[in-house]
Amino acid sequence: MNFLGTHILSIDQFDTQDVEALFAVADQMQPYAQRKLKTRVLEGAILGSLFFEPSTRTRISFGCAFNLLGGQVRETTEIKASALAKGESLYDTARVISGYSDIIAMRHPMAGSVEEFSKASRVPVINAGDGAAEHPSQALLDLYTIKKELNISGEIDGLNIALVGDLKNGRTVHSLCKLLKLYKNISFTLISPIELKMPEEIIEELRKAGHQINETEDMQTGLHDKHTIYLTRIQEERFSSQQEANIYRGRFRLNQSTYTTHCQPNTVIMHPLPRDSRAEANELDNDLNQHPNLAIFRQADNGVLIRMALFALTLGVEKELHNTSSDVNWYTDRRF
Ligand code: NCD
């Protein structure tokens, strides 16, 4: 695809060459994200950041990514703090905000809403999560992380991955499956309560593309021989009540003892975060916090690189980063 001026709404827009091009730009963002250098390449540009659903990492990392390229961020959070609460349509909001911004990142509880918004937007829109449907920048940072953690420089053909948890409502796993589908011979073990299984259309697409699918409710066997385990939270906001979500909380948990007993010693542990650390959920235990294969915080860090790369490519400045780069003059040592 030609990234320039393009809305990034779904992983369906990508092929493997696009992914490679994006990752090459993300690699170049490393010195800026690590505060070794600064760049002003987007000086004067404005990101409209519209998060109509709770978010910590996605919202802040989109904002930081834009700031690190020299641009500024204007944001609104929550529907009740915006004119949508007064009955304004997505169309009107898009017409207005796209007049104020050079690019927009948007999250909204309704599947398809970001696409609807993008149709009225005069500037590129990046889908930062639309209901249970998709979260393309997360899938891209997940794949980038998988490659880095497993030290794979080429294609990730032959990957053996387990996806665990709420696979019905988790938009990150939907986008990740669509992304992995582009490669060859991926073995997917889908571990979830039967009621929260991966949507059949996604499974069909994966099967048609020649991948192996194993669906199970037996976590312990499902964890064997995996290069990567990707855990997810029960998406309580998609259930009709807390009580209904409670039925599934805590069903699948990874802790040090489960990991040591059932996983390969080098299996990489991932989670899009937030992990639900309340006692009744705790799908990924704190006792793995010091484990060298726990990639979750490196994964979150990679979000900044991927989002910087998406901005640079959609705004056409990917070749000019270094023209405006200079040293940083504040204390930048990271403790760990
Ligand atoms: C995810 C999301 O919002 O879909 N979080 C994120 O963006 N990293 C996952 C989740 O909320 O469980």
Pair 72, 89 in one domain: yes
- At 256, the amino acid letter reads Q
Q: Is 212 part of a structural domain of the chain?
A: yes
Q: Where are the alpha helices (DSSP H) in 209-295?
A: 219-222, 242-246, 256-262
**Domain span at 143:** 136-296
CATH of the domain at 207: 3.40.50.1370
Q: Is 332 part of a structural domain of the chain?
A: no
Pair 272, 286 in one domain: yes
Q: Is 194 part of a structural domain of the chain?
A: yes
Structure tokens at 301: 């860090």
Which residues of the chain form beta strands (DSSP E)? 37-38, 46-51, 72-77, 103-108, 125-130, 160-164, 187-191, 212-216, 228-231, 268-270, 326-327
Q: Is 152 part of a structural domain of the chain?
A: yes
Ligand 1 centroid distance, CA of 46 (Å):
24
Q: How confident is the model at residue 83 (pLDDT cuts 50, 70, 90)?
A: confident
Ligand 1 centroid distance, CA of 159 (Å):
23
Q: How confident is the model at residue 336 (pLDDT cuts 50, 70, 90)?
A: low
Q: Is 307 part of a structural domain of the chain?
A: yes
Say if CB 179 and CB 140 are below 8 A apart.
Answer: yes
Q: How confident is the model at residue 226 (pLDDT cuts 50, 70, 90)?
A: very high
pLDDT in tens, 165-223: 999 999 999 999 999 999 999 999 999 999 999 999 999 999 999 999 999 999 999 99
pLDDT in tens, 49-79: 999 999 999 999 999 999 999 999 999 888 8
**Average pLDDT rounded to a whole number, residues 231-260:** 96
Pair 288, 140 in one domain: yes
pTM of the model: 0.97
Q: Which atom of ligand 1 is nearest to the CA of 135?
A: 4
The more confident residue out of 81 and 175 is: 175
Say if CB 189 and CB 162 are below 8 A apart.
Answer: yes
- Local structure of residue 217 (DSSP, 8 states): S
Pair 231, 91 in one domain: no
Q: Which atom of ligand 1 is nearest to the CA of 303?
A: 8
Q: Is 27 part of a structural domain of the chain?
A: yes
Closest by CA to 119, choosing from 11, 1, 2, 9, is: 9
Pair 206, 289 in one domain: yes
Pair 246, 315 in one domain: no
Given CA atoms 14, 20, 23, 25 in this order, what sign does their dihedral have?
negative
Pair 141, 272 in one domain: yes
pLDDT on residue 79: 83
Q: Is 30 part of a structural domain of the chain?
A: yes
Pair 310, 278 in one domain: no
**Average pLDDT rounded to a whole number, residues 8-30:** 98
- At 40, the amino acid letter reads R
Q: Count up the domains in the chain and report the number.
A: 2
Ligand 1 cavity residues, CB under 6 Å: 57-58, 129, 135, 138, 171-172, 232-233, 235, 272-274
pLDDT in tens, 314-333: 999 999 999 999 999 999 88
- At 62, the amino acid letter reads F
Given CA atoms 79, 81, 85, 89 in this order, what sign does their dihedral have?
negative
Q: How confident is the model at residue 307 (pLDDT cuts 50, 70, 90)?
A: very high
Ligand 1 centroid distance, CA of 58 (Å):
8
pLDDT in tens, 29-53: 999 999 999 999 999 999 999 999 9
Distance from C-alpha of 90 to C-alpha of 95, rounded to nearest angstrom: 9
For ligand 1, atom 7, which residue shows the shortest CA distance? 58
pLDDT on residue 213: 98
> Within the chain, what is the greatest distance between any pair of CA atoms?
56
The residue to mutate among 114, 172, 231, 270, having the most atoms of ligand 1 within 8 angstroms of its beta carbon, is: 172
Say if CB 232 and CB 166 are below 8 A apart.
Answer: yes
Distance from C-alpha of 25 to C-alpha of 315, rounded to nearest angstrom: 13
